[in-house]
Structure 1
Amino acid sequence: MERSAIDPITLEIWWSRVVAIADEAATTLVRTAFSTIIRESNDYCVVLLNAVGETIAECRAGIPAFAAIMGVMTRSVLAKYPVGTWQPGDCVITNNPWIATGHLPDVAMVTPIFREDVLVGFCATAAHVPDIGGTPNMGVTELISEGVLVPPIRMYRAGERNDDMLNLFLSNVRLPDQVLGDLNAQIAAHDVCRRRALEFLSDTGNADFTALSAAVQAKAEKVMRLAIAAIPDGVYRSEMRADGVEGQETVIACAITVAGDSMTVDYSGSSPQVQHGINCTINYTTAYTIYPIKILLDPQTRRNHGSYAPIQVVAEHGSILNAKFPAPVMARHLTGHLLSCAVYQALAEALPDRVIADSGGSPALRVQFAGRGPDKEPFSLILFASAGMGASARADGLSTTAFPSNSGGGSIEALEVTAPLLFNKKEYRTDSGGAGRHRGGLGQDIEVQNIAGSPLRVALLGDRERNPALGVLGGRPGELSRVVFDDGTKASLKSVRALAADGRVTLSFAGGGGFGSPGKRATEAIASDITNGFITPERALDDYGFHLGARTDAE
């Protein structure tokens, strides 16, 4: 069928169904994965692509920004393994940061979908495995120290597993059983995607995905172009500062040019790449630029290759946003997550009623606990917990909500079963949201106790230690992040510390920035915040000039 022959009702039904295919495959991945990073924290992505490696449908859970990378990754794999070389039952994997999602722990897979010996599409996934070897810390100065680098290589060929490759890979990670379990979960997700895709073609009478792919991509591109065209032409700028490493701040310079129905985001002038793992590959930079623009301008249309076509992302080669191989990139999120803030601060002038203030979790604070449990078996757990989101023109920022990563915190019970840790406290962090007409979302305080019976390693990867989440249009910044051990010492958010047996550490996550002048906040909202414990009376007086006994606007 030609795309013009697909009537609107049929297109809506078919489009919904292919998205459901990606969602079902994603559910399979989550329910069969071994590690809590996938099962509890949703650090994965699943997409269905056409025969040339362009996304048709993307799962709606997981890490949404990764979806923008999956097509680029698949087309890179096809450059090594051209379309004519694929067979049913093939599977190519890679974790090359310049091909896949930007750092080594994310393993990407691509498998073909054949119908009657004709290649009609691909399924691609990316998932964060619990260990990738190496010595991941901020002292690492090159990629090779961060873990095992896997170039695009066939894990399966015509249904036969490449055990030699797999054994070599698993011999270089600390948790081979968990890693293999997660790889097998990805394989299971691919099988579900393949079977459901073939069922779709059979049920609809389509020979392949050519017509549907063209139709949904054209629709997504058209809507995005209309949204861009509604912004006045011009150049919109911002500059963000991050804590950097060893006291050397990094700068993100952002210039967004709107010309008709297209947009260019140029990061020229940003800091050069550094000898620590906060560098980004251009894939990652592009993904975390396009995603916040997509949800700002067109939050309703289902994402696919067409959504990204009107937006070009530029960064100087050798900069912190387009690092050269073999730069370390382990903690690339500490730079990449800030791009949403840079984009929204730049567009605040043009779209003041739609942007949000900086989020405390942009970038996210990640904490890895590793060591040996009471049974002397090794364990490794990465805590994915959320900070406060920035406020908007319509409402206060969401508290303890991940943005822009969409990763989940997971249940405490599941984490405690997996690792010899006891979570003594997990609660909202009072006074952490930035003041404004609308208050920034609250961060949280988490106290973790080591019950392993021996010291553990605590690796901290965070920012917002000196540069808070900024407010917008007069809103004030949120509170900074901090980590305090039970001896009273504060730890750098880019450090590795030992946690003694029975020792405790308190992790305080940053608050989001406020929106608008604090003087315009409704007094009943301030009184409600005090009643709910979101702010103290002292902070209400300092930020808003509000006395607890004063009459509210509602009264």
Structure 2
Amino acid sequence: MLATTDTKPISDIDLEIMWSRLISIADEAAIALKRTAFSTIVRESNDYAVVLLDENAANLAENSSAVPSFVGVLPRTLSSLLKITPPEEWHPGDCVVTNDPWLGTGHLPDLVVASPVYFKSKLIGFVASVAHLPDIGGTSLSATCHDVFEEGLRIPPMKLLDGGKANANLLDLIRANVRVADQVIPDIFAQISAHSVAQKGLCNFLAATGLSDLSRVSGALQAKSEAAMGRAIMELPDGEYRAVVKADGYGDRETEIHCCLRVDGANLSVDYSGTSPQVNFGINSVLNYTYSYTVYPLKCALDPETPHNEGSYKTIKVHAPEGSILNPVFPAPCNARHLTGQLLAGAIFECLAQAAPDRILAESGSAPSLRAMFSGARADGERFSQMLMCSGGMGASARGDGLSCMPFPTNTGAGSIEMFEGAAPLLIQRKELLASSGGQGCFRGGLGQEIEIEAVGKRPIQVSLMVERTKYPARGLQGGGNGSPAKAALGNGVSLDPKSRVELHPGETITLSFAGGGGFGNPAERSQALIASDKASGYTA
């Protein structure tokens, strides 16, 4: 037992041990979620997160491989849930769920599940998780819808478990509105199982530490994180730094993100005034998602070593004009919100390049992530809904080449090709690095990849494409070159609209080219050893 009570100060050593233990509790819960889930999007691609929060909805710890956007969103979501259902109306065995984009992570497929934690009959905190469900009805995951009502089933905050008893009506409603209920419903219960693991872990934690609740350790952890981030911000020169990121948008309607980063001592603000207005297609990024993908790259660049919690972001302010593509008004479509929100890392880093160029990356070809959703029916009539989750190249930095085929700023993985092929009548004919796709520089951008997929079933397959960076590839920094653009085409060479829904007939193939990352620094300064290594490896021509 640690030498701690509710009145004795927590030493720095004890605090470090406690923090590590809280992270391990979240990790153990995440393992339970992953191992009990049915869909490949959770089991293979890690599109989920588990977070421990105190009684005031402040983030204490999250699982080590959590999706960054989920971690940033969940405290905001729980705060909203507590306004709807005050703490005194929660009870042991309760479980509240919602996928409302404006309350949760920004699009309908992500289900937020929140459960209270009680220790000796006292509410001491919450466990919350997000998992990307394999289907949520509607038009399937795509960028083509004109409002959120087309995009699927929207679940307002509701109790899925009330005192441990399942809400059968809600489960029936979900089951009746999704294509692959045999994956969706078990994945939801996998989240609930993970919460049970975390609840038990937190109670054991309090018993072992001698604490009666989480308030003191939460306050101490937040203070440490706030101080660490404050020191990191103060290392930046005070001033105002600006960047503009252009994007493909939808059709012939291109979009722009205007970013102004202001530093004043230990305080930092990000203002997106001037950004394009919201559009009538699903590429809008709700404010929760915008906030998450603003603070996360700042954390990566300024204070990467300290485990983050709510304290990390107390001195950071984020503003996005209401009615813009970064803060759309309901009922704006937002299923493909990552095509806009994940561009923010590039805008943030371009601003920071003016103040601390040694801390940032050039733009990544994997930001935003190229996604393709395949759905249809097998020969026996059984439905499938399968997402291809692969990545382009990361941007280079002042320290080295960008990583190839690596996600950033998200961290969802590709998973195994065998599992992908086993879940749907699809065959990967080719999956290879794209030579010379990384931007040139003193350090080269990471390589993209090209994947050729064949429909091998007996029925047509619907493909929803969510592709960005066809017009505006990942940009280099400090004199580095741009990476290669992304594209999508049928096997016969016909180019496809990057945000379209197409039908793939048996025997037909589709080829997806993932963008390369931007280079960093003057290409003339690249070492001869690295040039020779690239050529020997086939990375460059």
Instruction: Assess same fold via TM > 0.5.
Output: yes
**Distance (Å, rounded) in 2 between the aligned partners of 1:527 and 1:373:** 48
1:157 and 2:162 aligned: yes
Cα displacement string for residues 518-538 of structure 1 (whole angstroms, at most 9, x for unaligned residues): 1111122112111111011xx
Cα displacement string for residues 75-130 of structure 1 (whole angstroms, at most 9, x for unaligned residues): 10000110111110000000011111000000001000011211011000011000
1:48 and 2:48 aligned: no
Paired residue for 1:97, among 97, 101, 109? 101
**Distance (Å, rounded) in 2 between the aligned partners of 1:53 and 1:494:** 37
Matches within 5 A, 1:403-414: 403-414=408-419
**Distance (Å, rounded) in 1 between the aligned partners of 2:288 and 2:540:** 40
AA of the residue aligned to 2:125: G
**Distance (Å, rounded) in 2 between the aligned partners of 1:422 and 1:374:** 16
- Give RMSD over aligned pairs: 1.0
Counterpart in the other structure of 1:395 = 400
AA of the residue aligned to 1:467: Y
Tell me which stretches of 4 or more aligned residues in structure 1 moved more than 3 Å: 1-4, 136-139
SS in 2 for 1:201: helix
SS in 2 for 1:402: coil
Matches within 5 A, 1:16-55: 16-55=20-59
**Distance (Å, rounded) in 1 between the aligned partners of 2:414 and 2:177:** 28
Counterpart in the other structure of 1:438 = 443
**Distance (Å, rounded) in 1 between the aligned partners of 2:511 and 2:361:** 28
AA of the residue aligned to 1:61: S
SS in 2 for 1:75: helix
**Distance (Å, rounded) in 2 between the aligned partners of 1:132 and 1:82:** 28
8 A contact 1:69–1:100 mirrored in 2: yes
1:307 and 2:312 aligned: yes
1:534 and 2:539 aligned: yes
**Distance (Å, rounded) in 1 between the aligned partners of 2:416 and 2:129:** 24
Could you tell me how far 1:8 is from its partner in structure 2? 1.3
Counterpart in the other structure of 1:352 = 357
Matches within 5 A, 1:163-174: 163-174=168-179
**Distance (Å, rounded) in 2 between the aligned partners of 1:8 and 1:511:** 43
Matches within 5 A, 1:252-331: 252-331=257-336
Seq. identity, %? 48
Paired residue for 2:87, among 79, 83, 98? 83
SS in 1 for 2:500: strand
**Distance (Å, rounded) in 2 between the aligned partners of 1:21 and 1:308:** 23
Counterpart in the other structure of 1:505 = 510
Gaps of at least 5 residues in structure 1 are 537-555
Question: Which deviates further from its counterpart, 474-483 or 163-172?
Answer: 163-172
Cα displacement string for residues 215-250 of structure 1 (whole angstroms, at most 9, x for unaligned residues): 111101110000001101000100000000011110
Gaps of at least 5 residues in structure 2 are none
Cα displacement string for residues 133-179 of structure 1 (whole angstroms, at most 9, x for unaligned residues): 11144331111000001011000110111101111122111111110
AA of the residue aligned to 2:322: H
AA of the residue aligned to 1:146: E
1:60 and 2:64 aligned: yes
Could you tell me how far 1:374 is from its partner in structure 2? 2.7
**Distance (Å, rounded) in 1 between the aligned partners of 2:69 and 2:307:** 13
Cα displacement string for residues 488-519 of structure 1 (whole angstroms, at most 9, x for unaligned residues): 10112101111110111111100000001111
Matches within 5 A, 1:516-535: 516-535=521-540
8 A contact 1:358–1:469 mirrored in 2: yes
Cα displacement string for residues 426-472 of structure 1 (whole angstroms, at most 9, x for unaligned residues): 11111100011100000011111111122111110010011000000
Counterpart in the other structure of 1:128 = 132
Could you tell me how far 1:484 is from its partner in structure 2? 1.7
SS in 1 for 2:177: coil
8 A contact 2:365–2:473 mirrored in 1: yes
**Distance (Å, rounded) in 1 between the aligned partners of 2:339 and 2:8:** 44
**Distance (Å, rounded) in 1 between the aligned partners of 2:220 and 2:190:** 31
SS in 2 for 1:206: coil
Counterpart in the other structure of 1:422 = 427
1:139 and 2:144 aligned: yes
Could you tell me how far 1:3 is from its partner in structure 2? 8.4
**Distance (Å, rounded) in 2 between the aligned partners of 1:471 and 1:237:** 16
AA of the residue aligned to 1:188: S
8 A contact 1:293–1:343 mirrored in 2: yes
Cα displacement string for residues 162-210 of structure 1 (whole angstroms, at most 9, x for unaligned residues): 1011111221111111100100100000000000110111111110101
Pair 1:468–1:4, CA change in 2 (3 A) = farther
AA of the residue aligned to 1:119: L
**Distance (Å, rounded) in 2 between the aligned partners of 1:63 and 1:332:** 15
**Distance (Å, rounded) in 2 between the aligned partners of 1:138 and 1:65:** 19
8 A contact 2:44–2:416 mirrored in 1: yes
AA of the residue aligned to 1:109: V
TM-score normalized with structure 1 length:
0.95
8 A contact 1:3–1:215 mirrored in 2: no
**Distance (Å, rounded) in 2 between the aligned partners of 1:23 and 1:295:** 20
Matches within 5 A, 1:207-226: 207-226=212-231
TM-score normalized with structure 2 length:
0.98
8 A contact 1:464–1:480 mirrored in 2: yes
Counterpart in the other structure of 1:107 = 111
Counterpart in the other structure of 1:5 = 9
Counterpart in the other structure of 1:553 = none
Cα displacement string for residues 26-64 of structure 1 (whole angstroms, at most 9, x for unaligned residues): 111111111111111111111001111111111111302
Paired residue for 1:484, among 486, 489, 492? 489
Counterpart in the other structure of 1:368 = 373
8 A contact 2:54–2:126 mirrored in 1: yes
SS in 2 for 1:400: coil
AA of the residue aligned to 2:40: T
**Distance (Å, rounded) in 2 between the aligned partners of 1:405 and 1:3:** 41
**Distance (Å, rounded) in 1 between the aligned partners of 2:377 and 2:29:** 34
8 A contact 1:267–1:314 mirrored in 2: yes
**Distance (Å, rounded) in 1 between the aligned partners of 2:144 and 2:79:** 34
SS in 1 for 2:483: coil
**Distance (Å, rounded) in 2 between the aligned partners of 1:338 and 1:2:** 45
8 A contact 1:3–1:214 mirrored in 2: no
Could you tell me how far 1:65 is from its partner in structure 2? 2.5
